[in-house]
Amino acid sequence: MQRKYCLCVDIGATRLRVAIARSDGTILDVVEDRTPDIVLRSEEPTAIAEAILQLGERLLSGRGMSFAELEGIGIGSIGPLDLRRGVIVKSPNLPKPDQEYPLRDYLQDKTRLPVYLANDCVAAVWGEVTYGHGRDHSNVLYITMSTGIGGGAVVNDTLLLGADGNAHEIGHVIVDTSEDALTCGCGGIGHWEAYCSGMGIPKLIQRELNKKKNIENTKLPDIVKSCKDPRDITVHFFNLLREGDPFCREIFEKICIFNARGIASAIHLYNPELVIFGGSIALNNYDLIMEFRKYLGQYLMRGFRIPEFRLTKFGDNVVLVGAAALVFNTPESLRKFVA
DSSP 180: T
Q: Which residue, judged by CB position, is nearest to Zn ion in the bound state?
A: 184
> Least Å distance between CB 276 and Zn ion?
22
Amino acid in position 321: V
| Residues binding Zn ion (CB under 5 A) | 172, 184, 186, 188, 191
> Least Å distance between CB 172 and Zn ion?
4
> Least Å distance between CB 164 and Zn ion?
18
> Least Å distance between CB 188 and Zn ion?
4
235 burial via Cβ count (<10 Å: 0-12, 13-18, 19+): middle
- Give alpha helix (H) positions in the chain: 35-41, 47-62, 104-111, 120-131, 193-196, 200-211, 220-226, 230-243, 246-270, 280-284, 286-289, 293-299, 318-328, 332-338
Residue 117 or 184 having the CB closest to Zn ion: 184
> Least Å distance between CB 273 and Zn ion?
28
Distance from C-alpha of 200 to C-alpha of 192, rounded to nearest angstrom: 8
317 burial via Cβ count (<10 Å: 0-12, 13-18, 19+): buried
Residue 187 or 303 having the CB closest to Zn ion: 187
Distance from C-alpha of 329 to C-alpha of 193, rounded to nearest angstrom: 31
> Least Å distance between CB 193 and Zn ion?
5
Residue 102 or 188 having the CB closest to Zn ion: 188
Q: Are 87 and 102 in contact (CB under 8 A)?
A: yes
> Least Å distance between CB 186 and Zn ion?
3
Q: State the sign of the Cα–Cα–Cα–Cα dihedral 307, 281, 91, 326.
A: negative
Distance from C-alpha of 77 to C-alpha of 42, rounded to nearest angstrom: 19
Strand, helix or coil for residue 329: coil
* Short-list 109, 104, 101, CA closest to 79: 101
Residue 51 or 149 having the CB closest to Zn ion: 149
Residue 6 or 81 having the CB closest to Zn ion: 81
Residue 162 or 188 having the CB closest to Zn ion: 188
Residue 147 or 333 having the CB closest to Zn ion: 147
Distance from C-alpha of 290 to C-alpha of 317, rounded to nearest angstrom: 21
